[in-house]
Structure 1
Amino acid sequence: MASSAFRIGGDLEVGRLGFGAMRLPTEPGPGREASVAVARRAVELGVTLIDTAYMYGGGANEELLAEALHPYPDGLLVTTKIGLTRSGPSGEWKLDGRPEVLRDQVEQALRRLRVERIELLQLHRIDPDTPLADQLGALRDLRAEGKIGRIGLSEVSVGELKEAREIVDVASVQNRYNLLDREHEPVLAACEAEGIAFLPWRPVAWGESGARAEVAAVAAELDATPTQVALAWLLGRSPVILPIPGTARIDHLEENVAAEDLHLSQAHRDRLDQLSEPA
């Protein structure tokens, strides 16, 4: 069976099946109370990697996680992402990797998450209007100051990853990837070669009906759900993959976490591997 732990940056150990907090409602009321319960249940179930971002509610998601989980239990990694700002009358999100903006967003994230150091901070997107060396240089400075522990990237190409690694150590990459969408296969391969954690976002996505039917057939044979099959496939796909499925429901959370115990035979894997042509 696939190993259930991974060391991000070579030293920060987490369980390989994490939780994406993006979908948790943060508005006051029953939805927020349910969100707090889901976050707490994730930790009860043994999840040690929770992914959030400034973009998720302009920091509201980070504040929600702090409300639910602070003081954080030993071994829990809450990772966040920066590098987007709101602008204009309608509050549109846009890329902004200027060093002063990144520094301010880290300071704000420290405050919202109620920590003195963010163990893994990810650049949500590379800003094409700011030199990459300036963006990563700002994060490198923050790391030197002890405000962040490790630096990650999101939605990068193989070339961008290579360029970034000439400037800083890259501990993680968060790209879109799942059973039916393997566009970033080359990036995954590059991460695997270098021991870089690969956090697929949108780890479960259902494409055309033929593929969906095949996943459902495998699930039926294993007395599992299609979502569990998709997550188990990811866990077995590469030792550096750390899926972060998100949900706002405890029953779905429990279903997702149970995927870690699902064993796919080689025959099942062969069938699933054929559902998407590698990029």
Structure 2
Amino acid sequence: MENSSLKTTFLLGGDLEVNRIGYGAMRITGPAIWGMPENPQNSIDVLHRAVELGCNFIDTADQYGPFTSEQLIAQALHPYAKELVIGTKGGLVRFGPWADIHNDASPQHLHEALNGSLQRLKLDRIELYQLHRIDPRIPAEITFEFLQKAQQEDKIRHIGLSEVSVEEIKKAQQFFPVVSVQNRYSVYNREWEPVLDYCRQQNIAFIPWFPIGGGMDAQKEDVIQRIATEKGATLHQIALSWLLHHADNILLIPGTSNVKHLEENMAVGAITLTEEDRQKLNSIAG
């Protein structure tokens, strides 16, 4: 990242320094996020290239494949560089490529999910383990107690949450330090702005998923495209750059299975947005 106006790293959990442009490994699986890709070597090449370009934070989940993403990460990158942080998630299950996704944050399931992730990733401890969803069928306290115990057993270094409210984060903080939150968020979709604000105050990493989609229409797209044309960038690069400029605790994890697209994503740190640019982009929030 070359843009001197941006903070380039974030201290995750107070002790893991990661570059703010990471990589989301959902799309290295097969079609519909199911099974192995047709060409596994392509996925391995993308992972190698991400690390070559300075990415030291990779986000995945046991549900991606299921299991495929974690397996490919280990195949490509193990033994891992000391500075590489792999974050994975548990708490969702799916039984087919087009099947519905179901919550399961019971201690029984999370025990199996966590141990499975440790085995597939070839790790003794996961540096960042994130609860994929709070399960409405399970009292949150029971789920949090399991995660607290797993952390005490040194199976997990740091714990994060996904798709949560401020109130849910506060409840979790009664059991363990919350170091990251993954909610759907983009220049178009700002529903979780109060959560971002709380995370900023608490020095919690905010990791937007679907960071370049949701709520787009022709008028909003035109605003972004005009700025992109001025900068010699793509529309998606400007949407990602806005996130980096918007808050210093935002970590990007754009996903792709294409090396060229990966290189475009990793280059967004060199883009400078002026205050006028940012005001124009702020105005398109839905």
TM-score by length of 2: 0.93
Which residue does 1:3 correspond to in 2? 7
| d(CA) in 1 for partners of 2:152, 2:257 | 36
CA contact (8 A) 1:25 1:31 kept: no
CA gap 1:168/1:230 in 2 versus in 1, 3 angstroms: same
1:94-148 Cα deviation digits (max 9, x unpaired): 1111112111111000000001000000000000111111101111111111110
Q: Which amino acid aligns with 1:122?
A: Q
Which residue does 1:32 correspond to in 2? 40
Q: Please, which of 81, 86, 92 is the counterpart of residue 78 of structure 1?
A: 86
- Please, which runs of 5 or more residues in structure 2 have no aligned partner? none
Deviation at 1:166, TM superposition (A): 1.8
| d(CA) in 2 for partners of 1:71, 1:4 | 26
Q: Please, which of 252, 260, 263 is the counterpart of residue 269 of structure 2?
A: 260
CA contact (8 A) 1:123 1:154 kept: yes
Q: Which amino acid aligns with 1:169?
A: P
| d(CA) in 2 for partners of 1:41, 1:30 | 19
| d(CA) in 1 for partners of 2:82, 2:43 | 21
Deviation at 1:220, TM superposition (A): 0.5
Deviation at 1:29, TM superposition (A): 6.7
1:6-61 Cα deviation digits (max 9, x unpaired): 01111111000111110113555752111110011000000011110011011111
1:235 is aligned to 2:244 = yes
- Please, which runs of 5 or more residues in structure 1 have no aligned partner? none
| d(CA) in 2 for partners of 1:184, 1:93 | 22
CA contact (8 A) 2:89 2:130 kept: yes
1:155 is aligned to 2:163 = yes
Q: Which amino acid aligns with 1:188?
A: L
CA gap 1:221/1:118 in 2 versus in 1, 3 angstroms: same
| d(CA) in 2 for partners of 1:145, 1:3 | 34
Deviation at 1:87, TM superposition (A): 5.7
Q: SS of the counterpart of 1:152?
A: strand
1:22 is aligned to 2:26 = yes
Count of residue correspondences: 276
1:220 is aligned to 2:220 = no
TM-score by length of 1: 0.95
CA contact (8 A) 1:87 1:94 kept: no
1:139-162 Cα deviation digits (max 9, x unpaired): 111111111000000000111111
Which structure 1 residue ranges, 4+ long, deviate > 2 Å from structure 2?
Answer: 25-31, 85-88, 90-93
Q: Which amino acid aligns with 2:231?
A: L
Q: SS of the counterpart of 1:63?
A: helix
Which residue does 1:165 correspond to in 2? 173
1:8-157 pair list within 5 angstroms: 8-26=12-30, 31-86=39-94, 92-157=100-165
Q: Which amino acid aligns with 2:167?
A: G
| d(CA) in 2 for partners of 1:9, 1:68 | 26
CA contact (8 A) 2:166 2:195 kept: yes
CA gap 1:137/1:49 in 2 versus in 1, 3 angstroms: same
| d(CA) in 2 for partners of 1:203, 1:12 | 23
| d(CA) in 1 for partners of 2:38, 2:169 | 42
CA contact (8 A) 1:39 1:69 kept: yes
1:189-200 pair list within 5 angstroms: 189-200=197-208
| d(CA) in 2 for partners of 1:200, 1:31 | 28
CA gap 1:91/1:273 in 2 versus in 1, 3 angstroms: closer
Percent of residue pairs identical: 43
CA contact (8 A) 1:42 1:253 kept: yes
| d(CA) in 2 for partners of 1:235, 1:101 | 35
Give the aligned CA root-mean-square deviation in angstroms. Answer: 1.5
| d(CA) in 1 for partners of 2:92, 2:238 | 33
| d(CA) in 1 for partners of 2:47, 2:38 | 14
Deviation at 1:4, TM superposition (A): 0.5
1:182 is aligned to 2:186 = no
